[in-house]
Every structure is written in structure tokens, then in C-alpha cells.
Amino acid sequence: MTAPVPAGGPTLPQQRRLLTEVPGPASRELFERRQRSVARGLSHVLPVFVTAAGGGVLVDADGNSLIDLGSGIAVTSVGNSAELVVSRVTEQVAQFTHTCFMVAPYEGYVEVCEQLNRLTPGEHEKKSALFNSGAEAVENAVKIARHATGREAVVVFDHAYHGRTNLTMAMTAKNMPYKQGFGPFAGEVYRVPMAYPFRWPGGPAACAAEALDVVTGLIHAQVGEENVAALVIEPIQGEGGFVVPPDGFLPGLAKFCRTNGIVFIADEIQSGLCRTGDWFAVDHEGVVPDLVTTAKGIAGGLPLAGVTGRAELMDAVHPGGLGGTYGGNPVACAAALGAIDTMQKQDLPAAARAIGDVMLPRLRKLAAQYPVIGDVRGRGAMVAVELVRPGTLEPDAAAASKIAKTCHAAGVIVLTCGTYGNVLRLLPPLVIGTELLDEGLSVLADAFGTL
């Protein structure tokens, strides 16, 4: 028997309520069907089948209401089925669903590009192009940089995540599960160390300057500055462990790129669109990238991604050189306009900062209590704890997985990440209520007590 399905969106009762174990019998039955029909290569954080979602909760097929501290991996920043997303999408879907922007254009696409040009850092003239997924945006940013510079090499970082297509697999650092068995990978991708304060051999205070020296030294010695088309970096790394580079590192890289004619690409797919308390994570230090990739939070859950940047770079590519059947689909553009409108009207950068002001002190208190927590880091509503064997840097992935499972069973969705799988990350919708957030954090705190 499936429970009656409530309507999703912001009117969904904002509560944690467990009617069955998690996952319950209805989800387990659906999971059996899933096992028979869906490929094994797709995995789940938590196999509950969702029937409604809104604000900070997901409701499953058994009627359980779970607190969402993951936002579908930083996507539903405006909340699931947010009011302005639903109204714009509903209007658009009744009007027309597809023309292909390359066949016959429509205003929504142009409007999303205008918004991205306005919101991304820098006062220079900008242009944008739209795609379907984050990986596709990264691929296109590299295409544009290569075309504009006439160079081939791409520099990426340890712990980087840029996607699952062939080029972006090559750019992604972690082998399992993303790359294992999927080679050969695209060439001309060079990896350099990331400024990772918690794990920097010389300690956090020396990290920015030393990492800059190492990175620029490696590029000079092993690639040659004049061969580098682009340097691609997540201003706060996502899948790789929510690594926050120390102040000075990103501005230093941007300067090095400027000096050497290298296109500086900020992959803001996870960190952008209000998540870290600014519109973009690079805003924190006033860094102005040449190109910015966006996806995830931009369209309230519909598939849309963008590349935005200096007009002269974006326009370097010949007509017809960029595109795709669905890129900038009109329904996805309508969703993006609703999402961006919501971010502005509800001042979601401020909401993200307020969430960080609740989460970080509580997590730091937990860290003082439980030595398994080696580091607490992040900004705004993009925050994580890294778990280690007490007193060492040895990653404790088992502890991270156990805590996540304990939270799931108690009705709170938390995600893990990190090259070593030992980081618990929190990415609540930016519209989550304070009480719900508090309750979610209490469940997490209790989970540490059961380790």
C-alpha cells in the first residue's frame, strides 16, 4: 500500500516524520523493480522513492517526510517546486516546449543569458551560451578557450570534479567510481596540486603561497605557459571534498593566467548561484574569471547549464561551432528565470550566509567534542566536516559512511564526498526553515554519539 501523496512545493508541511523504517516497504518494492529495470551503474545515496518535495523536505512513497540537507547535490537551492519556478514552467510548457534554439530562437534563452551576463563577476562585456548539464558546460568552456587561444593544454587540480563525459572524466581527479574502466581519456589535460589547507604539508598558513609556487612551477616546467589554453578550478571544490582554498590562492592563479594569456575558468556548477553566500564563490575575494560555468542551482531542478564570459572569448568561435539539440530548452529557461527571480526577491545569498552562521558554529562545537572530526570548513550553505583517525590525517571513510547512514535512518538526508570518501557535506536548500535546519543538525550531532 502506498501512502496518499501530498502536493509538493513550498506548502508541503516542513517536518521530519517517520511512519516506517527508512526505506519503508513501498520504497523497497519500487527498489526491486528498479533492480530489474535500471542499470547497476547508477547508485543511490538513499533508496527512498520520492513522491513530493518542497522547502526543506522530501516525502517518500511510504509517507515519510525527510529533512533534505543535500538539495539533490546543490540543485534545489530555491527549494523543490518553488512557486516562481512552477508558475513560469507551467506557462511555458503550455506555450511551446521546444523549437531548438539553433532552428528558431525564443526570448527566454536570451533573457537567461542577459541575467548570467549581469550576475557573474566583472563589469566587462559578457556573452553566454546554454547547455544541458554541468559536464557539457565544462566541455564547451574548454572548447571556447582552445579556439580563442589556439592552444591545447588544460590545467586542472587534485580533487577536482568536472563531470562524467570523456573530456570531463579526464579533468576529474578521482578514479573510483568515475573513471575506472572508462579510458582512454582525452589528452592534453595536466593535473597540479590543490591548495588544501588541512592537508598541506607545510601547514595551512603556508598553503596559499607554497601551492601557488608549486602550481606555477609545474606549469612552467612540465607544460609551458604558452601551451596552456585554460586553467579550470572549482573555487570551492565539490565532489572532491569541499576543499576551500586559502585566501590569496585564487587571486594568485587569476593573475598568473592574466600574465600568461591563459583563460581562467571558474567551475561554479556546485558553488555558484548563491550557495556560498555570494552570487558566486569567486566573489568572496573579488576574483573575476574569464569564463564561468554554471548548472545545478540555476534552474530549480530542471536541466540547464551555462558558459558565461568575456565577449571576445565567447565570440571567438565561428557560427555553428557551439550548440546542441536541447541546450537552453525553453522550459528549462523558464525555470531558470523563476529561480533567479526567487534568488533576488528572497535575497538567497543572505539566506545562505545565515545558514552558514547556524551550521558552522554547531559543527565546530561537535569537532571540539569528537576528535574524529579533523576539519570543519565551507562557506554559507556549502559546509562539510572531514573525518579522520583522531589526531592524524588518515581519512576515516567508514565513520563518514556510518554517520550518513545513521542520519538517513533517522530521516535526514546528508551526503558524503571527498577523494577519500571521508567528508560529510551539508547543502540544504537555501529556503530551509531555521527549526528544520536545527533539527537536522541535532540528528547529525546524535549520530556522532552513536559512532
Residues lying near ligand PLZ in the complex (CB under 6 A): 73, 133-135, 138, 161-164, 234, 238-239, 267, 269-270, 295
| Long-range CB contact pairs, 351-356, < 8 A, 24+ | 351/274, 351/381, 351/430, 351/431, 352/274, 352/275, 352/276, 352/277, 352/380, 352/381, 352/382, 352/430, 353/277, 353/380, 355/380, 355/381, 355/428, 355/430, 355/432, 355/437, 356/277, 356/380, 356/381, 356/383
| Least Cβ distance, residue 164 to ligand PLZ (angstroms) | 6
User: Residue of minimal CB distance from ligand PLZ?
Assistant: 134
| Least Cβ distance, residue 163 to ligand PLZ (angstroms) | 4
Pick the closer one to ligand PLZ by CB: 173 or 372.
173
| Least Cβ distance, residue 134 to ligand PLZ (angstroms) | 2
| Least Cβ distance, residue 283 to ligand PLZ (angstroms) | 16
| Least Cβ distance, residue 373 to ligand PLZ (angstroms) | 23
Cβ neighbours, 10 Å, residue 253: 26
Q: Is 186 exposed, middle or buried (0-12, 13-18, 19+ CB in 10 A)?
A: middle
Cis peptide bond upstream of 303, omega within 30: no
Pick the closer one to ligand PLZ by CB: 39 or 103.
39
Pick the closer one to ligand PLZ by CB: 267 or 283.
267
| Least Cβ distance, residue 372 to ligand PLZ (angstroms) | 25
**E strand spans, 73-180:** 126-131, 153-157
Pick the closer one to ligand PLZ by CB: 67 or 156.
156
| Least Cβ distance, residue 347 to ligand PLZ (angstroms) | 24
Pairing status of strand 263-267 against strand 228-233: parallel
Pick the closer one to ligand PLZ by CB: 141 or 431.
141
CA 322 to chain centre: 24
User: Nearest to residue 24, comparing CAs of 53, 50, 54, 44?
Assistant: 50
Strand-by-strand arrangement of the 126-131 sheet: 126-131, 305-310, 291-294, 263-267, 228-233, 153-157, 189-192
Distance from C-alpha of 84 to C-alpha of 384, rounded to nearest angstrom: 30
List Cα–Cα distances, 58 to 53, 69, 121, 429, in angstroms. 4, 10, 33, 11
Pick the closer one to ligand PLZ by CB: 34 or 164.
164
Pick the closer one to ligand PLZ by CB: 28 or 191.
191
| Least Cβ distance, residue 206 to ligand PLZ (angstroms) | 26
| Least Cβ distance, residue 171 to ligand PLZ (angstroms) | 9
| Least Cβ distance, residue 95 to ligand PLZ (angstroms) | 26
Distance from C-alpha of 170 to C-alpha of 186, rounded to nearest angstrom: 6
| Least Cβ distance, residue 136 to ligand PLZ (angstroms) | 7
Pick the closer one to ligand PLZ by CB: 48 or 74.
74
Pick the closer one to ligand PLZ by CB: 1 or 42.
42
| Least Cβ distance, residue 138 to ligand PLZ (angstroms) | 6
Pick the closer one to ligand PLZ by CB: 101 or 161.
161
b/e map 352-386, b = 16+ CB within 10 Å? bbbbbebbbebbeebbeebebbbbbbbbbbbbbbb
Residue 134, φ and ψ in degrees, nearest 5: -60, -45
Pick the closer one to ligand PLZ by CB: 67 or 307.
307
b/e map 48-72, b = 16+ CB within 10 Å? bbbbbbbbbbbbbbbbbbbbbbbbb
Pick the closer one to ligand PLZ by CB: 138 or 348.
138
Pairing status of strand 412-413 against strand 65-68: parallel
In the three-class reduction of DSSP (H, G, I as helix; E, B as strand; rest coil), residue 269 is classed as coil
Distance from C-alpha of 280 to C-alpha of 263, rounded to nearest angstrom: 18
